[in-house]
A and B are shown apart, each in its own frame.
Chain A
Amino acid sequence: MLKVEEQTPVEFSSELLAKFDDVKSRYPEGKQKSALLPLLHLVQAEFLWVPTSAMDKVAEYLNIQPIEVYEVATFYTMYFLKPQGKYALEVCRTGPCCLVGAEKILSHLENKLGVKEGEVTADGLFSFRGVECLAACGYGPVLQISPEYTFYENLTEASVDKLIEDLKNKS
């Protein structure tokens, strides 16, 4: 990551900047760096990932060094540092979900989509990965789909198939 070839130039729309301003106003004077995590979420919702060029622009907006943005974007797991599918499926793979079949769901997704964890399908629609506990252990197995983070519970192979068909038809 952070390679030159992945430097996709981005423009922040005035709507996005208005959202930035709203977030920044929540913190005391001089503590605008607190807005960093929410801002990166807004960037990801807009571009579906967080390009380095966008991180640089966020740094400029918050008047902090670019490295302060990079270290945060790479520390937290939610920020995608390379492009994902339009629907990025994240399946919980931690203990309680595995007790009720999360591992089966992950291997089913791999077969169904024909890509490995972290890869994007040829049509650009889907990518998937296993993530750690999503705090929905009683309703497992669960998955969420970014950027809206809609949540699907009590998954079975059949319900995953249906979900993927529905998403395909929607787009």
Chain B
Amino acid sequence: MSRKLLLEHINVPGINTLEVYRQKGGYRAVEKALKTLTPEEIVEEVKKSGLRGRGGAGFPTGMKWSFLAKPEGVARYLVCNADESEPGTFKDRYLMTYIPHALIEGMIVSSFALGAKVSYIYVRGEMMPQIRILEKAIAEAKAAGWLGKNILGTGYDLELYVQPGGGAYICGEETALLESLEGKRGNPRIKPPFPAIAGLYGCPTVVNNVESIAAVVPIINDGGDEYAKIGIGRSTGTKLISASGNLVKPGVYEIELGLPVEEFIYSDEYCGGIANGKRLKATVAGGSSVPVLPANLTLKLANGEPRLMSYESLSEGGFATGTMLGSGGFIAFDEDQCIVRNTWNFSRFYHHESCGQCSPCREGTGWMEKVLHKIEHGHGTMEDVDLLWDIQRKIEGNTICPLGDAAAWPVASAIRHFRDEFEWHIKEPVKSQSQNYGIANYATPIEKAPVTEEK
């Protein structure tokens, strides 16, 4: 069994209550931080831990904290990003449902480190049950003196509120989230200024993912150096992976970064292999935005070495043969799944979720959806594949926020690795409506795998 930091006590009955959470050592990090450490020392521990943002970007959390401006007499805010909406990702829902106090404890320690007196947890509106769970847990914590005025007699005051979203994927982008929290449409802001300088209400603000904030608790309890010993290279610590798709045991797993992908998919400790005795065709390793990879490149690097679940190993080979860890939303496709249909589905998602500010994204996502719909339904032409490639190239890098890139990458990677499947749909317009292209040679050794040349 690998080491568990976040989910160690997840199966303890009643761990969602303050009483049981305390019995299992909960809120020790708050005591330690508020009574024995200065805010600067906490930031230093988080820096030493090597913790990288768990929401998808992988930016070092301690570094992000150290950028926070501290002008005299201006309020500072910590906002937790619980707008989990990346297709394939459901770890934050899991954490908030079963062990809400882990997030609250992390919020208290992090708010203290950043000097925030009021902090918000922005939860996507669809998660009303989780909002109720969090509000109940916050009330419990407040009644016990962990929140409110003069916490533990240290003179530190903190109010913590839960803010519901309204159902918009774009609000997971930190500046769109701040706009939404100010009661506006979720249109991402132009950066700079970054939220660390001018965020919520124009004040210095840090926005962190749920899992990043929860990870601060073991970092403070055990020390940053201990945390950094777990994992591999610059991928320190443990990561929650949301496993979905055609797996025997989909669900949320806490892994030590550096676990071989093959072990994660096939071992009984994790996903237990592909459901219904089928073979693996492809995976999306880090949520729908990251490039899709055929089975062979998922399990092994281009040089034949095993691929590991870490920031570096998953992105090994760039986008030509690699992908990204992203938010840890691991989607597995069995041999009977259609890549074209799934790419169309994802494009529809991004078209639906584009905020509409930037033309390349607003128009491009809709265009990609239509072209993919055409190919999937047997009306495509060979030029359409090149057209798709051209559209995605013109979206990527040309938008205010990363949603444009996120929409472009799945399309680009699907064409890069599965071009023959697209072409089959075009050459066999009738057959492709009742049959699937199947696994082809996606599972065979890499030298035979189709890799389209970059244009």
A interface, CB within 8 angstroms of B: 26, 28, 31, 33-38, 40-41, 62, 64, 68, 71-72, 75-79, 93-96, 98-100, 131-140, 144, 148-151
Instruction: Give the residue among A35, A98, A144 with the most B Cβ atoms within 10 A.
Output: A98
A76-B125 contact, Cβ under 8 Å, with A95-B87, A135-B84: yes
Least CB distance from A137 to B in Å reads 4
How far apart are the CA atoms of A97 and B9 in the complex, in Å? 29
What A residues does B333 contact at CB under 8 A?
Answer: 99
Instruction: Out of A26, A68, A78, A140, name the residue touching B125 (CB < 8 Å).
Output: A78
Number of interface residues of B (CB under 8 A): 56
A37-B349 contact, Cβ under 8 Å, with A28-B75, A72-B185: no
What B residues does A93 contact at CB under 8 A?
Answer: 345
Kindly state whether residue B337 has any CB partner on chain A within 8 Å: yes
CB < 8 Å A-B pair total: 148
What B residues does A71 contact at CB under 8 A?
Answer: 184-185
Kindly state whether residue B126 has any CB partner on chain A within 8 Å: yes
A133-B183 contact, Cβ under 8 Å, with A95-B342, A98-B345: no
In the bound complex, do residue B246 and residue A37 qualify as a contact, i.e. CB atoms below 8 Å apart?
no
In the bound complex, do residue B169 and residue A37 qualify as a contact, i.e. CB atoms below 8 Å apart?
no
Kindly state whether residue B93 has any CB partner on chain A within 8 Å: yes
A96-B331 contact, Cβ under 8 Å, with A76-B168, A133-B349: yes
Least CB distance from A88 to B in Å reads 12
Instruction: Out of B89, B128, B167, B250, name the residue touching A76 (CB < 8 Å).
Output: B167
In the bound complex, do residue A34 and residue B129 qualify as a contact, i.e. CB atoms below 8 Å apart?
no
Kindly state whether residue B436 has any CB partner on chain A within 8 Å: no
B interface, CB within 8 angstroms of A: 75, 84-90, 92-93, 118, 124-129, 159, 161, 163-169, 180-186, 201, 242-246, 250-252, 284, 288, 329, 331, 333, 337, 341-342, 345-346, 349, 352-353, 355
How far apart are the CA atoms of A34 and B355 in the complex, in Å? 19
In the bound complex, do residue A96 and residue B244 qualify as a contact, i.e. CB atoms below 8 Å apart?
yes
In the bound complex, do residue B124 and residue A37 qualify as a contact, i.e. CB atoms below 8 Å apart?
no
A133-B169 contact, Cβ under 8 Å, with A41-B164, A94-B345, A99-B246: yes
In the bound complex, do residue A34 and residue B183 qualify as a contact, i.e. CB atoms below 8 Å apart?
yes
